[in-house]
Amino acid sequence: MTRFCKQRDDYSCGPIALLNIDKFFGRRVTYKDLPRYRKRVRCEKKIGGTATRYISKVLGRAGRKTWPAAKRFLKNGCIAVQTKRVGHFYLMVTNGHGDIGIVNYCNGPCALHVSVQRASQMLRHAYRTWYVSETPTKRKP
């Protein structure tokens, strides 16, 4: 079971999402590595976080999938990064049993389980969604 890092401030949701993706895919990273992730996506407190364009430079182009296709993608051990219109980044993952979890969603707990219906609704209402099947640091530039 992956132990995800929680966002401890009001502006680091993008770098935390990237850090948690790397944790999910087995890289040995901790919260101490966060400054490197912040630098990578130009996340600064004075500008209020990370612009979507910098996340896209790391994760590639955002895409759309139907809920059945997205569910199959997640069950294959992959991850979805979503953003709301206000610019908050969070992850959608599955565990080994097929349960759907949300990581770093707003100011709640670090990770929580959601129903299939709620996950489908969150996917439909996401502003942008990136589907990630490998750790972003191993992707070709």
CB 59 within 8 A of CB 136: yes
CB 87 within 8 A of CB 140: no
Residue 11 structure tokens: 């502006």
Does pLDDT of 140 surpass 50? no
Does pLDDT of 136 surpass 80? no
Q: Where are the domains of the chain?
A: 13-134
CB 76 within 8 A of CB 35: no
Give the model's pLDDT for residue 141: 38
Q: How confident is the model at residue 86 (pLDDT cuts 50, 70, 90)?
A: confident
At the top level of CATH, the class of 13-134 is alpha beta
Give the model's pLDDT for residue 52: 82
Q: In which order are the strands placed within the sheet that holds 128-132?
A: 111-114, 100-103, 89-94, 79-83, 128-132
The 10s digit of each residue's pLDDT in 51-84 is 788 888 999 999 999 999 999 999 998 999 999 8
pTM above 0.95, yes or no: no
What average pLDDT does range 19-38 have in this prediction?
Answer: 93
